[in-house]
Amino acid sequence: MVERIEDLNLPNVIVTRLMKKALPPDIKISNESRTALTRATSVFVLYLTSAATYKAEKKKQKTLTVDHVFSALEEIEFESFIQPLKNDLENYRKSVKNKKDKKGDTMDTEEAMEDSIDD
């Protein structure tokens, strides 16, 4: 695992970026609030991971899946997060599929060009 508890914190840069996106542009963030929110987000991620791991172990599964995470969110009473996360997951899957499709189209075009050169 980790040697120090500080190693479990999310990067300050990431948390700060998220905070700035959530706040109006004229609001400043103190260093203390940034530190507090960084620790709080890290604790939340650890708590959710622990709850999801429990769900996986209960089903005798060794791989943590998105279904375990959704079930854990329900268990820790964060049901309101589930639908937005499902929407984000669907968008992510579409994005990955589009990238794969574009990569495949590029390879098909290159193969067609090579075939026409060979003829």
Q: Where does residue 41 rank: exposed (0-12), middle (13-18), buried (19+ CB within 10 A)?
A: middle
4 with 19, same domain?
A: yes
DSSP 78-89: -GGGHHHHHHHH
Q: For residue 13, give every residue at least 6 positions away whose Cβ sits within 8 Å of its Cβ, in sequence order, or none.
A: none
Which of residues 77, 96, 111 is at a domain's end?
A: 77
**4 plus 50 within the same structural domain:** yes
pLDDT tens digits along 98-108: 888 887 776 66
The CATH number of residue 23's host domain is: 1.10.20.10
What's the structural domain count of the chain?
Answer: 2
Tell me the per-residue pLDDT of 37-91, one tens digit each, with 9 for 90 and over: 888 988 899 899 999 999 999 999 999 999 999 999 999 999 999 999 999 999 9
**Tell me, what amino acid is at 48?**
L
Judgement on whether residues 52 and 101 belong to the same structural domain of the protein: no
Q: Angle between the 12-22 and 31-58 helix axes, to the nearest 10 degrees?
A: 100
Domain that holds residue 84: 80-119
